[in-house]
């Protein structure tokens, strides 16, 4: 079974970007960890990152076309702004698990609303890179 792990804007800078909030692990390192974990769980993990909202929409559609088991989605700041992502998640009829390294509910007010969360099947946040690991375990349990 295929699991797409989709990452949005600024997450390419993980490891360099505000390390006091997001830690020092890079996205490539998280990807390698998930691939290993996926192999152990019998899941084929494909990790991607883009800074463009429409590309995330396209990739969500692709997940449906390819019959993915689930999607892990860290939409970065688009989480808090994007009705297009909310609609895409509803449209694809696949379980999407919202992922965040930090806990947006404990940060600025503008991060408290999540359009992704209005359609996501589940959410794991505030655990740093482990948020992804816990989310992949949830997919295995689906
Ligand atoms: C984030 C949280 C968002 O509020 C922020 O815009 C990000 C990263 C996280 O993983 O903690 O870019 O999604």
Please report the domains of the chain, with CATH numbers, ordered by start residue: 2-141 (3.40.50.9100)
Contact 112, 105 (CB under 8 A): yes
Give the model's pLDDT for residue 140: 97
> Is 101 one of the annotated binding-site residues?
yes
Pairing of strands 44-49, 2-7: parallel
Which residues are within 8 A (CB) of 7 and not within 5 positions of it... i.e. 6 or more apart?
A: 27, 47, 48, 49, 50, 74, 76
Give the model's pLDDT for residue 61: 98
- Catalytic, 115? Answer no
Question: Which of 9, 26, 74, 108 for mutating ligand 1's site (highest number of atoms within 8 Å of CB)?
Answer: 74
Structure pTM?
0.97
Question: Which of 104, 109, 133 for mutating ligand 1's site (highest number of atoms within 8 Å of CB)?
Answer: 104
Which residues are within 8 A (CB) of 108 and not within 5 positions of it... i.e. 6 or more apart?
A: none
User: pLDDT tens digits, the chain, 142 residues: what are they?
Assistant: 999 999 999 999 999 888 889 989 999 999 999 999 999 999 999 999 999 999 999 999 999 999 999 999 999 999 999 999 999 999 999 999 999 999 999 999 999 999 999 999 999 999 999 999 999 999 999 9
Read off the tokens for 120: 């996501």
> Is 131 one of the annotated binding-site residues?
no
- Catalytic, 22? Answer yes
Give the model's pLDDT for residue 18: 86
- Vertex 116 angle, CA 1 and 72, to 5°: 25
């Amino acid at each position: 079974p295929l699991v797409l792990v989709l990452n949005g804007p600024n997450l390419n800078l993980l490891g360099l970007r505000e390390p006091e909030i997001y830690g020092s692990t890079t996205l490539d390192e998280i990807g390698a960890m998930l691939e290993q974990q996926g192999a152990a769980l019998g899941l084929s993990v494909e990790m991607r990152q883009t800074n463009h909202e429409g590309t995330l929409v396209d990739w969500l559609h692709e997940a449906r076309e390819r019959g993915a088991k689930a999607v892990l989605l860290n939409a970065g700041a688009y989480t808090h702004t994007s009705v297009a992502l909310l609609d895409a998640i509803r449209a694809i009829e696949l379980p999407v698990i919202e992922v965040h390294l930090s806990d947006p509910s404990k940060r600025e007010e503008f991060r408290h609303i999540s359009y992704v969360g209005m359609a996501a099947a589940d959410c794991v946040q505030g655990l740093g890179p482990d948020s992804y690991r816990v989310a992949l375990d949830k997919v295995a349990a689906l």
